Structure 1
Amino acid sequence: MSDDPFFTVAVAMFAGAIRVSTPFLFVSLGECLTEKSGRINLGLEGTLVFGAMSAYAISYLSGSPWLGVAAAGCSGAVFGALHGFICKLPKVNDIAIGIALMLFGSGLAFFFGKSFIQPTAPRLSAIDFGFLTSNPQMKVALQINPLFFVGLVAALALWWALRNTRFGLVVRMTGDSAATARAMGTSVDLVRFLATTIGGFSAGIGGAFLSLYYPGSWNEGLSSGQGLMAVALVIFSRWNPIACVAAALLFGAAGALGPALQSVGISQGYHFFNAAPHILTLAIMIASTSPKRSLKGAPGELSITK
């Protein structure tokens, strides 16, 4: 085992970046698709929490963690569909509805999840790539959950679909100009409903990762605002699914900074380093107030651009 503290911190941040970034990745991809259609869904924090609870509950009751993942995705799709249905009503603000659904989803998860705080549910297993190295620290770091790879494939698929398919063209056209989409015979409400539903499904999967792998339990403080941070992440990535991967890894590494430093005995300022993802989010939001740079590449129909 290497005694170099820099190597230890680097390995810990590498492992932490992959683990911590996975929920960010799924939520940001869902929000990226939703915003590409011209709608913002701030309710994904509640969707993430409810997805985590439903995944844990179904995994415990059925004995199958992958069934729990499916349940989390379906519950997220229901919340996304609810957001999409309400937002198509006249004179409804998507940001206000998102905040309401965030509170509703979190409250519902806490209500139904109280009986699942103590029981231990079957967890997702990791793929062990430790055979690639003889270093014990790297062996641990190379235990990667399959959902991380699913997220990578989903990011590539979404990037390709938005650029090369009729579906992607319709979503981008709807997000850039609703009037043009209507003139082309496209149902703007239907496109946004579907995009928001798929976005909710993706956020629910992110919640399943939290409760069934890392940290791998269910409690009411599980999310720590990751659903809301994903909105800043999408802005940071300029609504590009591939950039969402890099941004999620950056946020994940920031989240792993505190534990990585603690592993080499640096405990002073531990809570400050643990707040790194929140500080990064604040920095991004402050930077995004620039009228010249912040909304470059943003879909024209987003309420934040008007």
Structure 2
Amino acid sequence: MSDAALVTVATAMFAGAIRVSTPFLFVSLGECLTEKSGRINLGLEGTLVFGAMTAYAISYHSGSPWIGVLAAGIAGSLFGALHGAVCRLPRVNDVAIGIALMLFGTGLAFFFGKPYIQPTAPRLPSIDFGFLVSNPQLKEALKINPLFFVGLLVAVAMWWAFKNTRVGLTVRMTGDSAATARAMGTSVDLVRFLATTAGGFLAGVGGAFLSLYYPGSWNEGLSSGQGLMAVALVIFARWNPLACFVAALLFGGAGAIGPALQSVGISQGYHFFNAAPYILTLIIMIASTSPKRSLKGAPGELTLMK
């Protein structure tokens, strides 16, 4: 491979990593917040898909993609609130409820989203940092969606809040020991309900990115399991919001390998490279079978820790 081809591949992977990582980032941060409170929400895949459909539909009818993003977040928070409310009932398993809501959210999105497969909705803009470089390929790669920077700010804010604020300490205490939280006068159910609702909001925003920016359309195969992969990403990040950002970039880079190679005419093994995020997820889940290693740092109240 020539030097020019290497530059092209590296540039394409850089741009692709940022684009592909953004929905991973929002969903993983939502799941990180939820799990920090001691609850797992596998329903974020359905939340992501429904958020994508909602964002596209509202953007189409309102003419504003940012209103679509807000609507997607609100839709996601409703799914999160539903998950949190059901899980407050006695003898309810949060993993089972999450799977049920994943199927419900996906099915609901497909049902209401059929009229929006063909119409074109206004898309989210990008911030052009191309003026910083002279290379035409880098100029194109440096067109970055604002939601990427919002996700980075959310990751930093969550990391800081968990370490330095009373709210963050309460969420962590609830996730580590429900008995201790109750002894301190904290409503465990309320904390987990609010954390799950906020986590759903972030997942819905991640869905809005998919339909309104990259790939920038609504169809029934839009997500490709990114909501479920976010659970593996959170485990890989050891429940650290900043590490979630780095892990999202890693997953995004893995997802960008195939298109990057195709940009220089390498199509052999294209589908194998497209499977890289799924292979990475499988490796992480296999590694997580060792509680002494991969689950170190996990909140003690999680279902997978019991």
What TM-score comes out, normalization by structure 2 length?
A: 0.99
Aligned mates of 1:289, 1:303 — CA distance in 2: 14
Matches within 5 A, 1:1-306: 4-306=4-306
Structure 2: 5+ residue stretches without partners: none
Amino acid in the other structure paired with 1:141: A
* Cα deviation, residue 42, structure 1: 0.1
Secondary structure in structure 2 of the residue aligned to 1:31: helix
Deviations 1:124-173 (A, max 9, x none): 00000000001000000000000000000000000011111110000000
CA RMSD of aligned residues (A): 0.8
1:206-227 CA distances to partner (integer Å, 9 max, x unpaired)?
0000000000000000000000
Query: SS state of the match for residue 4, structure 1?
Result: helix
Structure 1 position 292, deviation (Å): 1.8
CA distance in 1, matches of 2:181, 2:82: 23
Structure 2 CA distance, aligned partners of 1:3 and 1:111?
49
- Distance of 2:278 and 2:302 partners within structure 1: 24
TM-score normalised per structure 1: 0.99
In the TM superposition, residue 290 of structure 1 has moved relative to its aligned partner by 1.5
User: Which amino acid is the alignment partner of residue 273 of structure 1?
Assistant: F
- After TM superposition, give the deviation of residue 5 of structure 1 in Å: 1.2
Deviations 1:188-215 (A, max 9, x none): 0000000000000000000000000000
Q: What is the CA–CA distance in structure 2 between the aligned matches of 1:247 and 1:278, rounded to whole Å?
A: 14
Residues in 2 aligned to 1:291 and 1:172: alpha-carbon distance in whole angstroms = 19
Deviation per residue, 1:93-138 (Å, 9 max, x gap):
0000000000000000000000000000000000000000010000
Amino acid at match of 1:165: T
| Aligned residue identity for 1:60 | Y
Distance 1:29 1:67 in 2: 22
- How many Å apart are 1:3 and its aligned residue? 6.0
Q: Distance in 2 between matches of 1:93 and 1:18?
A: 35
Distance 2:7 2:139 in 1: 14
**Distance in 2 (alpha carbons) for counterparts of 1:10 and 1:70:** 34
Runs of 4+ in structure 1 displaced over 3 angstroms?
Answer: none
List alignment gaps of at least 5 residues for structure 1: none
Query: May I ask how many residue pairs the two structures share in their alignment?
Result: 305
CA distance in 2, matches of 1:113, 1:221: 12
- Read off the aligned partner of 2:95 and give its amino acid letter: I
